[in-house]
Amino acid sequence: MGGEHPLMFSLQNKIALVTGAGSGIGEAIARCYAEAGAFVYVADRDEAAAARVAGAIREGGGGAALSVLDVGSAASCREAADRVFATHPGGIDILVNNAGVGHVGTILGTDEAALDRLYTVNVKGVFFLSQLFLPGMLERRSGSIVNLASIGGVVGVKDRFAYCMSKFAVVGMTKAMALDHAEHNVRINCICPARVETPFVQARIAEYPDPARAYAEMTATQPIGRMARPGEIAAAALYLASDEASFVTGSEFVIDGGFSAGK
């Protein structure tokens, strides 16, 4: 019995970029990665929100920098990547494509503008950033990309036509990229949560005529009887980014409280 066991799920000396990290799931992932030892680029459209999270990480003794980034803009993604390369010429070790938007409606209640908005943010955002940061990972033969999809990318969800369209695309991109780059030791996976109780979801619930009823209906969707917590999604993102997941690629990691298990 010699020596100490290495710390599991360590991201020591890793560089990560997390989009949509100004709140909710993205914030939880950014904080989790920093606690695991990574230097984290906290990327968000909302500069104040990104600054708050990056500041909190630094105050807690971690390493972080804010990055103002609109994932739906190729120019904005390029500018953000250039800023990262200026400080870290080798690029990043971990990319988390978390930023996304939602939409309620069937195909009959979805106009072209709404469809384009979801495709631009939820799909092209993953495309833009993966295309920018993947080459450095391939050159080093090391890296991990974690895409945030949804249970709506694994099974259909009523009244979420455009959202499901975009998240099924994320799952498909994940699998295609994973196959294309597995031999280079770059792993690409996605996380597919059911409903998560984030500030965004709480704000949406507050807009309903009967918030208590809306909350009850949203929690009842999951057989476990509640929504997920952001930290529970962050734990999966930590695993997928870590060396402990070195044999995991092309997976859709379902975290849904039993939603997809059947009725």
Whether residues 76 and 166 share a domain: the answer is yes
Domain of 203, in residue numbers: 196-227
**DSSP secondary-structure letter at 160?**
B
Q: 192: Cβ–Cβ under 8 A, 6 or more apart, which residues?
A: 149, 150, 151, 153, 154, 167, 171, 252, 253, 254, 255, 256
**pLDDT interval class at 6 (50, 70, 90):** low
In a domain, residue 9? The reply is no
Q: Please report the pLDDT score of residue 4 as a whole number.
A: 59
CATH code assigned at 172: 3.40.50.720
In a domain, residue 10? The reply is no
- The H-assigned helical ranges of 88-226 are 112-118, 125-140, 161-181, 199-206, 211-220
In a domain, residue 221? The reply is yes
Whether residues 218 and 117 share a domain: the answer is no
Whether residues 42 and 67 share a domain: the answer is yes
In a domain, residue 3? The reply is no
- Residue 239 known to be catalytic: no
Per the residue annotation, which of 33, 163, 208, 215 is the catalytic one? Answer: 163
Whether residues 212 and 95 share a domain: the answer is no
- The count of structural domains within the chain is 2
Whether residues 177 and 96 share a domain: the answer is yes
Whether residues 221 and 109 share a domain: the answer is no
pTM to 2 decimal places: 0.94
Q: Please report the pLDDT score of residue 100 as a whole number.
A: 95
42 three-state secondary structure: strand
In a domain, residue 183? The reply is yes
pLDDT digits (tens, 9 = 90+) for 18-38: 999 999 999 999 999 999 999
Whether residues 136 and 162 share a domain: the answer is yes
CA dihedral 154, 155, 161, 163 (to 10 degrees): -30
Whether residues 205 and 84 share a domain: the answer is no
In a domain, residue 4? The reply is no
Whether residues 123 and 22 share a domain: the answer is yes
pLDDT digits (tens, 9 = 90+) for 47-85: 999 999 999 999 999 999 999 999 999 999 999 999 999
In a domain, residue 49? The reply is yes
If one compares 214 and 235, the residue with the highest pLDDT of the two is 235
Residue given tokens 């099924």 in the structure block: 168
Whether residues 117 and 209 share a domain: the answer is no
Angle at 9 between CA 173 and CA 92, to 5 degrees: 50
Q: Among 19, 11, 40, 10, which Cα is nearest to 148's?
A: 19
Whether residues 156 and 215 share a domain: the answer is no
Helices 24-35 and 47-59 sit at what angle, rounded to 10 degrees? 30
Whether residues 100 and 170 share a domain: the answer is yes
In a domain, residue 247? The reply is yes
pLDDT above 90: residue 208: no
Q: What is the rounded average pLDDT for all residues in the chain?
A: 95
